[in-house]
Amino acid sequence: MRIDVVTIFPDLVAGPLGTSIMGRAVESGAVEFAVHDLREHGIGRHRSVDDEPYGGGAGMVMRPEPLFGAVEPLRAAGAHVVLMDPAGERLDDALARELAERPHLALLCGRYEGYDDRIRSVVDQEVSIGDYVLTGGELPALVVIDAVVRLVPGVIQEASHRGDSFASGLLEYPQYTRPETYRDLSVPPVLLSGHHGEVDAWRRREALRRTYERRPDLLDHVELDEADRTFLRSLGFDG
């Protein structure tokens, strides 16, 4: 998989892409990153990428010429171009998995008061990481990259993300490790039993419990069997 990022702050993006899971993904050859400085397509001696908005108003707007200049070569190379924008489709597990199927992504990061709207004519998808506004699209782009790259085959063991929160529609069950008892808090005995069937059943119940207690809205979209429903009814669920 190849991921290109277009930004006016390349250093803000490049650092995290070389560390931890991202860095190992590059070393293994599973993922290739390229960070592009939008100012390379800037206008005039100062490489300007923004200007005042038509109609007046506060702040500056990113000009179309640098944006098109950066995006069109990536489109020609086969990239699926994603515009990072608060008005875009909300990032969730399903969208991350959809993007992970793409062999080539290009993420366009905004700044200032946003983009000249004509850029939307040459992007394939608009994505938001939540209902709030940040100072730029670089951090959202990194969130998208992190959510996507970990799903690329060969980056991490598939079993590591199969039970993650949202992967099955539920929040993840509680996890424990050594020591067995710490500050009078003990690991649930079932996890020490060695009985894999009972462990699996406990994890399913605890995932259901945590989802019901913290994100009951998710249960509307989860396939529940009768055992699941019986357990949830014991908690007060009436769905």
**Spatial separation of the C-alpha atoms in residues 232 and 128, rounded to whole Å:** 32
pLDDT digits (tens, 9 = 90+) for 214-239: 999 999 999 999 999 999 999 999 97
CA-to-CA dists, residue 220 to 73, 114, 207, angstroms? 43, 35, 15
Together in a domain, 49 and 106: yes
pLDDT digits (tens, 9 = 90+) for 79-136: 999 999 999 999 999 999 999 999 999 999 999 889 999 999 999 999 999 999 999 9
Together in a domain, 185 and 154: no
Closest CA to 150 of 97, 193, 187: 97
Together in a domain, 72 and 103: yes
**Spatial separation of the C-alpha atoms in residues 152 and 13, rounded to whole Å:** 20
Domain of residue 196: give its range.
181-235
Whether 112 maps to a domain, the answer reads yes
Q: What is the pTM of this model?
A: 0.90
User: Which residues are designated catalytic?
Assistant: 86, 113, 150, 164
The residues, any chain, with a CB within 8 Å of residue 73's CB and separated by 6 or more, are none
**SS3 of residue 8 by DSSP:** coil
Together in a domain, 84 and 152: yes
